[in-house]
A = this chain, B = another copy of it.
Amino acid sequence: MSRQSARTAAQRKADTLAKLTAPAADIWVASASGSGAGAAEAHLVPLSFGWVSDRIVLAVEAYSRTARNLVIGRRARLGLGPTRDVVMIDADVVAVLDAGTAPAGVADGYAAQADWDPRAAGPGYVYLVLSPTRIQAWREANELRGRTLMRDGQWFV
């Protein structure tokens, strides 16, 4: 375990925003199945994303497990970065938009940051627009204290 000193909250926020705006990056997206037959199950998959107007935008096939889970469940938990320099995000789904008819701001913002454009991939894709409610960032055990940078959608710093 490295023994770097813990970052300040301001530094963690700056590092978090750098991760959220990095081009052609992926984010881990965990979602839970609805309470149909049997127990709920977690799904997990890495996805391209865009950071557009303080929202995380994903693009997935409308019938993918992630889309089906989040259209019903409306909450996701996201992980960004390597496991020992992580940003953990709890987020609410605030919009599900057909890729063919989504507002240009969302679609262009996604395409500008991700390394593909679902509008060029044919029909069947949706944008999932997620609003972060809690953001935490830490590297090693010495950064667990002070890891919460946002709560109830409000940055602390």
Interface residues of A (CB under 8 A from B): 1, 25-28, 30-35, 39-46, 69, 72-79, 82-84, 86, 88, 115
- Which of chain B's residues has its CB closest to A70's CB? B42
Please name all residues of chain B whose beta carbon is closer than 8 Å to the beta carbon of A115 when the two chains form the complex. 1
* A88 and B42 contacting across the interface, CB-CB below 8 Å: no
* B40 and A43 contacting across the interface, CB-CB below 8 Å: no
Please name all residues of chain B whose beta carbon is closer than 8 Å to the beta carbon of A32 when the two chains form the complex. 32-33, 39-42
* A44 and B1 contacting across the interface, CB-CB below 8 Å: no
Q: How far does the Cβ of A53 sit from chain B's closest Cβ, in whole Å?
A: 24
Report if A44-B88 is in contact (Cβ < 8 Å); known contacts: A28-B79, A35-B35, A79-B28. yes
